[in-house]
Structure 1
Amino acid sequence: GDELREILSARWGTKPDRLVLGNGSNELLLQVFLVFGGHGRRTLLFHPTYSMHGRLTQLAGGTVVEEMIGLPYEVTKERALAAMAKVRPEIVVFTTPNNPTGGEIDGDVILAVAERFPETLVLVDEAYSDFAGKSLVSRMDEFPNMVISKTFSKVLAAAGLRVGTLIVHPDLMGYFTAAALPYNVSTLTLAVAARIARDEESIGHRLELAKRERARVFAALRRVPVIEVFPSVTNFILFRLRNEKPPEVHTRFLEQSVLIRDISIWPGCDGCLRASIGTPAENDRFIAALDTVFAAPAARR
Structure 2
Amino acid sequence: MVKTSLKDFKPYERETPIWKIAEEYGLKESQIIRMDTNVSPYLSTKWLKKLQSKLLEIEVNQYPDTSYRSLVEAISEYTSVKHYDRIIPVNGADEGIEIVCEAFLEPGGEVVISTPTYDYFRVSAEIHGGRIVNVERMEDFRDNVVEITSSISEKTNIVFLCNPNNPTGNSVRYDDLIEILENSKNSIVVVDEAYYEYSGKTFIELTESYDNLVIIRTLSKAFGLAGARIGYIITSKKTAGDINLVRPPNSLSTISVELAVIALRDIETVRKNVAKTIKERERMRELLRTIKGLEVYPSEANFILFKTLEWKPSEIYRKLLKRGVMIRNLENIPKLEKHLRVTISLPEHNNKFLKLLEKILKETPPS
Give the TM-score taking structure 2 as reference length: 0.78
Deviation readout 1:214-235 (Å, 9 max, x if unpaired): 0011011111221111110111
Instruction: Classify 1:88/1:41 alpha carbon distance in 2 versus 1 (closer, same or farther; 3 Å).
Output: closer
User: Pick from 86, 100, 107: which aligns with 1:32?
Assistant: 100
AA aligned opposite 1:47: T
Corresponding residue number in structure 1 for 2:353:
286
Corresponding residue number in structure 1 for 2:42:
none
Corresponding residue number in structure 2 for 1:7:
74
AA aligned opposite 1:28: G
Which structure 1 segments of 5+ residues have no match? none
Instruction: Classify 1:158/1:23 alpha carbon distance in 2 versus 1 (closer, same or farther; 3 Å).
Output: same
User: Pick from 121, 133, 136: which aligns with 1:68?
Assistant: 136
Corresponding residue number in structure 1 for 2:36:
none
CA drift at 1:291: 2.1
AA aligned opposite 2:205: S
Corresponding residue number in structure 2 for 1:268:
335
CA drift at 1:183: 1.7
Q: Distance in 1 between matches of 2:221 and 2:139?
A: 24
Q: Distance in 1 between matches of 2:302 and 2:193?
A: 13
User: Pick from 243, 247, 267: which aligns with 1:180?
Assistant: 247
SS in structure 1 of the partner of residue 334 of structure 2: coil
SS in structure 2 of the partner of residue 179 of structure 1: coil
User: Pick from 188, 205, 228: which aligns with 1:121?
Assistant: 188
Corresponding residue number in structure 2 for 1:156:
223
AA aligned opposite 2:182: E
Q: Is the 8 A contact 2:91 2:231 kept in 1?
A: yes
Q: Is 1:225 aligned with 2:292? A: yes
CA drift at 1:126: 0.5
User: Pick from 81, 88, 91: which aligns with 2:149?
Assistant: 81
Q: Distance in 2 between matches of 1:153 and 1:98?
A: 16
AA aligned opposite 1:150: R
Corresponding residue number in structure 1 for 2:203:
136
User: Pick from 155, 158, 168: which aligns with 2:235?
Assistant: 168
Q: Distance in 1 between matches of 2:294 and 2:158?
A: 36
AA aligned opposite 2:149: L
SS in structure 1 of the partner of residue 252 of structure 2: coil
Q: Distance in 2 between matches of 1:246 and 1:80?
A: 30
SS in structure 1 of the partner of residue 172 of structure 2: coil
Q: Is 1:204 aligned with 2:271? A: yes
Q: Is the 8 A contact 1:44 1:65 kept in 2?
A: yes
Count how many residue pairs are aligned between Structure 1 and Structure 2.
298
Q: Bigger CA drift: 8-17 or 225-234?
A: 8-17
CA drift at 1:267: 2.2
Corresponding residue number in structure 2 for 1:249:
316
Q: Distance in 2 between matches of 1:24 and 1:290?
A: 33
AA aligned opposite 1:2: R
Deviation readout 1:85-132 (Å, 9 max, x if unpaired): 6x8521101111000101111022112211232111101110111100
AA aligned opposite 2:223: L
Give the TM-score taking structure 1 as reference length: 0.94
CA drift at 1:263: 0.9
AA aligned opposite 1:202: T
Q: Is the 8 A contact 2:78 2:264 kept in 1?
A: no
SS in structure 2 of the partner of residue 289 of structure 1: helix
Q: Distance in 2 between matches of 1:257 and 1:173?
A: 44
Q: Distance in 1 between matches of 2:308 and 2:120?
A: 25
Corresponding residue number in structure 1 for 2:31:
none
Q: Is the 8 A contact 2:71 2:89 kept in 1?
A: no
CA drift at 1:256: 3.0
Q: Distance in 2 between matches of 1:96 and 1:195?
A: 26
Corresponding residue number in structure 1 for 2:172:
105
Q: Distance in 2 between matches of 1:28 and 1:94?
A: 14
RMSD between aligned residues: 1.7
Q: Distance in 2 between matches of 1:63 and 1:80?
A: 15
Percent identical across equivalent pairs? Answer: 28
Q: Distance in 1 between matches of 2:311 and 2:182?
A: 44
Which structure 2 segments of 5+ residues have no match? 1-67
SS in structure 2 of the partner of residue 193 of structure 1: helix
